[in-house]
Amino acid sequence: MRKITVLGLATAGGFLLATTALVGAGLNDKLAPSDVIVVPGNTILPDGTPSPRLQARLDVALKQFQERRAPRILVSGATGKEGFDEAAAMARYLLKRGVPAGAILEDSQGWTTDATARNAAFLMRAHGWKTAMVATQYFHVPRFRLALERAGIAVSGQVHAPYVELRDLYSVPRETVGYAVYFMRH
């Protein structure tokens, strides 16, 4: 029984350390020039506008664009259960805030983090772009960086959306497991 208790405590301690490292890495913004800012999709509200969580991602990307850290923004998503194309809704949001249409690229096939990374890599290679900045939730930054790097993209910078919600209590541990699985699988 003692060995099981020690194993359980060691496992819980390891998970807690990994989660702490993941959160710390995601909160550590790195501001650097890049060819493009990549923003993964998320929930679209019933009126067709980005959820507050997704708005926070777009706003932090917009700030980097306005500060001239990148000349373009790639928005990636898919048509979710809400029935809206996330990438199109994200592009409309950015257009309404002054981003020129020519500076926005839409990827409507970003069903998963992995698909977004592969699609971003394809588009970046097609345009001759080498570096990307990640703009997403703090807990998603590490896995999204890993996905882009594994797709052959140099991630020069990262920014996290300044948005925290109760759902993070589920999202953070889920992302810890997701990162470990992704790291081992690819």
Q: Please list the residues that pair with 12 across neighbouring strands.
A: none
pLDDT at 97 over 90: yes
Give the pLDDT confidence score for residue 20 in this predicted structure. 84
User: How open is the CA angle 32-33-36, to the nearest 5 degrees?
Assistant: 115
| Mean pLDDT score of the chain | 92
> Confidence band (pLDDT; 50, 70, 90) for 8?
low
- CA pair distance 57, 163, nearest whole angstrom: 8
pLDDT tens for 47-70 read: 999 999 999 999 999 999 999 999
* Dist CA 162 CA 12 (whole Å): 28
Eight-class DSSP state of 9: H
d(CA 157, CA 68): 13
